[in-house]
Amino acid sequence: MKKFFISILVALCTVFTVNAQSNSSFSAYKFVRFIQYLSSSYVDTINVTRLVDDAIVDILGQLDPHSVYISKEDVQAMNEPLEGKFEGIGIEFNILNDTLMVVNPISGGPSERVGIMAGDRIIEVDGKPIASIGLKIPDVHKLLRGPKGTRVDLKIVRKGVKEPLDFTIIRDKIPIYSVDTYYMPEPGVGYIKINRFSATTEDEFVQALDELEKKRMKDLIIDLRNNGGGYLNSAYEIASYLFDPGKLIVYTEGRNSPRTDYFSHKRKRKPFKGRVLIMTDEGSASASEILSGAVQDWDRGIIVGRRTFGKGLVQNQLPLPDGSMIRLTVAKYYTPSGRAIQRPYKKGDAKEYYSDLEKRYKDGELFNQDSIHFPDSLKYYTLVKKKVVYGGGGIMPDVFVPLDTSFYSNYYGKLVRSGVINQFAIQWVDANRKSLLKKYTKFKKFEKNFNVDDSILNELFDFAESKKISRDEEGIKTSSNELKIQLKGLFAQSLFGPGYYYQVSNSSNETFRKCLEILKNWDKYKHLVQ
């Protein structure tokens, strides 16, 4: 490996010598020569690869917060969520009491095809015991993921079955979904929750639109809360299903990157013509802000929630010779009205940049719209209605919904941070799955008739005590209602699938309820759109 790097550095020296007329090329040549001297002359043995990696990390750390170095080992793991698939056996899992437990087999995946069920405990993989050995999540990935077509043998313990069961699974491509759920919360109203913008988002979004329109959807709520972004292409492809062709959706521009415009264009189906509401919060970033900004600038729909994160820097992924890469900022995103999405930052101060959300909390921005102030120099106007909007970082909603912390207590925080709520939910459903599915054969029946009562809450609190979290009566009083909603959502998720969590939790969510209120009282809000 050392010789490999030295040969690359020598080659770079030749290139940079030819181009040494410019200062940047000469500086690069100087750096390469420095590495050569270290490698050939330093008194002790040195790790050239490590030195170069550290130097790259330090240099990028002096730039913007989003230019980063990605090691060879991290490249594949980083790309999986955006490519929309990986190869393995296809299960959602949890490690409970040092045992690998199947939360759900992924629909259509190889585990579901051979009969793996929610609640199964995997105790052996390829003949090797894995229970009670201190298993961690990366260990599970190494054991169960692998190239398509390869075989893995599992031994499984299943409740109600005396002897362990043997399964042989042939690994396959496993989809990673970017649309968490879609459903009709009320007649005529469709809801789509997008968690990221990946290579598969367009297909998933179109499927959701088609299914909802079969149910006579007239209005659409798109939930982008806590959607950190993803592929630019996915964002403007989704926008093409909301606009007629030819509308500017976003443009990029940088010092060495000439302006590039992205327009809506013909896609797989005609654009949706109904009313559109988009839910955002401080976790909505990048591609989420591109879609929200275009909808707002063209007065196509109403943005509901809180100001988005403010990430508007364009990164190119540039490969390095050893399989690692750098993600380098080359331009900025601008909304159709000319607003820069990126919020201000100090070069080399990523810590302050990422502590902005804490600052918003302390300054009261998350609770009161009047706490947010923009200078007139950042004033822009939408392209149809000529509404005032502001640049300078993130997308401000048309209808502000404050963060609800009324249910929060220190006790609740301890339960969340410890993972106790999720652990308890999995364990409780596992113990009651058979009777629950017998009584509630469909989600709608479960949603209407099942409630988390005080006896279940007390089981949670007892479980928390077993994990060394002491009961706190004042905290219980403050947080009980929220805990009941969360538990019901987690139970629904475990019984019927991941998307059903939102169908339970949305019913009490203030931003979601505000969206329904807007649609019911349209005359009060229609001035915000075309």
What's the rounded Cα separation, in Å, for the pair 236 and 205?
12
Please give the pLDDT value at position 354: 73
- pLDDT-derived band at 22 (thresholds 50, 70, 90) equals low
Active site residues: 286, 311, 315
User: Per-residue pLDDT averaged across 13-21, rounded?
Assistant: 44
Digit-coded pLDDT (tens) for 277-301: 999 999 999 999 999 999 999 999 9
- Tell me, what's the pLDDT at 377? 76
Length of the chain (residues): 530
pLDDT at 24: 67
- 400-419 pLDDT, tens digit per residue, is 999 999 999 999 999 988 88
Q: For 63-83, how does the pLDDT look when each residue is reduced to its tens digit (9 = 90+)?
A: 888 888 888 777 766 666 667
C-alpha 475: how far from chain center: 30
Q: What percent of the chain has pLDDT over 70?
A: 94
User: Could you tell me the pLDDT band of residue 449, with boundaries at 50, 70 and 90?
Assistant: very high
**pTM (2 d.p.):** 0.84
| Mean pLDDT to the nearest integer, 133-152 | 89
Task: Pick the most confident of 332-341, 384-393, 422-431.
Answer: 332-341
Mean per-residue pLDDT over the chain, rounded = 88
CA angle 57, 333, 27 (to 5 degrees): 35
Q: What is the pLDDT of residues 460-486, one digit of tens each?
A: 999 999 999 999 999 999 999 999 999
Structure confidence at residue 428 as a pLDDT band (50, 70, 90): very high
Supply 167's token pair. Answer: 């399964």
SS3 content of the chain, % helix, strand, coil (to 5): 45, 20, 35
- The angle subtended at Cα 153 by Cα 152 and Cα 157, nearest 5°, is 130
Instruction: Quickly state the pLDDT bin for 522 (edges 50, 70, 90).
Output: very high
Query: pLDDT digits over 166-215, tens only?
Result: 999 999 988 788 999 999 999 999 999 999 999 899 999 999 999 999 99
In this structure, what token pair is assigned to residue 339? Answer: 């607003």
Mean pLDDT of 242-263: 94
How do beta strands 275-280 and 302-305 pair?
parallel
pLDDT band at 31; cut points 50, 70, 90: confident
Choose between 439 and 13: higher pLDDT: 439
Q: Is the pLDDT of residue 18 over 60?
A: no
pLDDT in tens, 314-369: 888 888 888 889 989 999 999 999 999 998 888 777 777 777 778 888 888 889 88
Report the DSSP pairing between strands 257-263 and 313-319: unpaired
